[in-house]
Amino acid sequence: MATDTEKPLDKKPDPTDQISITKHRVKIAGREVKYTVTCGTMVMREEAEKEGKSEGEKARATVFFIAYTLDGVKDNAKRPVTFSFNGGPGSSSVWLHLGLLGPKRVALDDEGYAPEPPYHLVDNEYSVLPQTDLVFIDPVGTGFSRMVEGEKVKEYHDYKRDLESVGQFIRTYCSRYARWSSAKYLIGESYGTTRASGLAGHLIERYGMFLNGVMLVSVALDFQTFRFDATNDVPPILFLPTYASTAWYHKRLAPDLQKMKLRALLDEVEAFAGGEYAAALFQGDALPDADRKKIARKLARYTGLSAEYVERCNLRIEILRFCKELLRNERRTVGRLDSRYTGMDRDAAGEKFEFDPGFSAIYGAYAATMNDYLRTDLKFEKDLPYEILKSLYMDWGWGEFANRFASVGETLRKAMCMNPHMRVLVANGYYDFATPHFASDYTMDHLGLEPELRKNIEVSYYEAGHMMYVHRPSIAALSKRLRAFIKG
C-alpha cells in the first residue's frame, strides 16, 4: 500500500512538452531574413470523466510541430500565421515544408528530379516566410507525433477525430503564442485539403475562430471524383484531360495534337469529356454500337492508347491501367503523383505498376534531408523514427460518410457563407493523377455558392504533378500567387 510520499507503482509520469528553439538567417528573394524556429512536441490533453464526474485533464497525445517566426517584429499579432499540413491520410508535413513554404527546400533539378545521394537542402528563395509566420503540423501518428502510452492511435485515424485533434493544436498554439489576433490561414495538400476544408468549419463552430484564407494544393474534397468503382462513371470523365496531357508530354499523340499548346489541347479534351463522352457513358449498355466505336476512336486519339484497348476497358480507362499501358511498348510506366516521371517494372505485361515513379523519384531526398535537418539545424533529438508517410487510407475512419463517398465541399461552402471574408486559393497540376485538375474544377463548380462568394475563389494550374512545386517554373509561379494571396 502506497504512503503519502510514495507514488503507486502503476502510475505513469505525466508527459511534458519537449521544445527546441534555434535562431537562423536565410536569403529570400535577395534579402537576408532572420527568424526563430520553435520545434518540438506539444502535449494534447482532454477532460477525462468517470461515472459522469470530471477527473481533470488527461494527456492523450503529443503533437510534433515546427514553427517559424520572423525576428524583429514588435507585435506578432500583426503578422499573419499560416498552419500547414500534408495529406495521405498518414503523411507528415515534410512535403509543403521542405518543398514549397519553408526557408529551406530540397535541392532538385529544374524539372524536379533528385540527384544522386547524399541529398541536401538549399535556401528557399520562394519561401513565404517574409509574408507570414509558418507552423507545420504533423498529425498524430506521423512525424514525431505519438499517442501517450496506453492510448490507441487508431482512435485518431478518423476524419472527425483528426479534425478535432488538429483543431485543438491550432487553438492551443494560438493561445500559448498569442496569435488569436493574427490573420490566420490554412494550407493543405491532397488529403490535407480535405482536412483544411473540414477545419474551416470546425474552427468556427467549435472555437469561434474565423480564418482569413484557405489554400488548397491538389484538391481532394469530393472522393466520388477520383474513386474508380464499377458503378461510378464520374472519374473516367474527369481523368481524361490528365490522360491527354500525359500522352502529350510523352509524345504519344497524333502529330496535329502534339503541335498544340497544352492548354489549347486541354480545352478541346475537356469539352469532349464534359459533353459527348459524358453523354455516352450516361447511356451505359444502351449506347449504340456505332456510337461506342466512335467514342472509342476519340478516346484513343486523346489518350495515346489503341481503340481496341479502350473498347476492352468498356470506354472507362482506370488510372493504374493507364499508368501501365501508355508506355508499355517501351517497358516503362508513368507516375501517379506526377505522370512526367517514368519507371521500370519486372513484369512489362502486368496490369498495374509495381511502384509509383512519381513518388520514388523524390521520396529519398525528402526523407534524408528532413531527418538531418531536425537534428543538425533544429537541434531536436529523438530516437523514434520520423514517420514521413504511412498509407492509412484504407484503414481511415469515415464514420459520418458511411455508405457514401466522403465529401467536404459542403463544409467548405458553409464556412464561406458563415465567414464571407474567407478567401480560397486552389492550385492544380496538369500531370497529377492523384487529384486531377478537371476533378478539382468539377468540385469547385459544384459547391453551390452564391455568385458573390464564388469571387472569393482563385484557381491556378501548373505544368507539373501532385507536388507541382518540385518543378522550378511551377514553384516560382505558385509562390508568387501565395504571397499575393496572403497579402490580401
Q: What is the SS3 assignment for 241-302?
A: HHHHHHHHHCCCCCHHHHCCCHHHHHHHHHHHHHHHHHHHHHHHHHCCHHHHHHHHHHHHHH
Tell me the one-letter amino acid at 53. Answer: K
Looking at residue 52, its pLDDT comes to 59
Residue with cell 499501358: 325
| Grouped pLDDT means (10 residues each) for the chain, 488 residues | 48 84 94 96 82 71 97 90 96 98 98 96 97 97 92 89 96 96 98 98 98 98 95 97 98 98 98 98 97 98 98 97 97 98 95 95 97 97 93 83 92 98 98 98 97 97 98 98 95
Q: Which of 358, 381, 357 is nearest to 371 (CA)?
A: 381
Tell me the one-letter amino acid at 488. Answer: G
Residue 143: strand pairing partners: 387
DSSP codes joined into one string, 349-365: TSSS-SS-HHHHHHHHH
The answer to whether 88 touches 138, Cβ cutoff 8 Å, is no
Phi, psi of 248 (to 5 degrees): -65, -45
Q: Name the DSSP class of 419.
A: -
Torsion from C-alpha of 330, 311, 437, 127, nearest 10 degrees: -20
Phi, psi of 80 (to 5 degrees): -65, 155
Looking at residue 1, its pLDDT comes to 41
Looking at residue 326, its pLDDT comes to 98
Distance CA 196, CA 170 (A): 12
Residue with cell 482536412: 195
Q: Which three cell numbers stand for residue 137?
A: 503540423
Q: Name the DSSP class of 212.
A: S
Ordered structural domains, the chain, with CATH: 18-224+362-487 (3.40.50.1820), 244-350 (no CATH)
Tell me the one-letter amino acid at 7. Answer: K
Looking at residue 55, its pLDDT comes to 63
SS3 373: helix
Looking at residue 3, its pLDDT comes to 46
Looking at residue 12, its pLDDT comes to 67
CA distance to 187, 195, 225, 419, 439, per residue, from 234 (Å): 27, 23, 6, 31, 9
Looking at residue 2, its pLDDT comes to 43
Distance CA 385, CA 437 (A): 34
Looking at residue 13, its pLDDT comes to 73
Q: Which three cell numbers stand for residue 448?
A: 453551390
CA distance to 161, 254, 412, per residue, from 140 (Å): 10, 49, 23
Phi-psi region of 445 (alpha: psi -120 to 50; beta: other; left: phi over 0): alpha
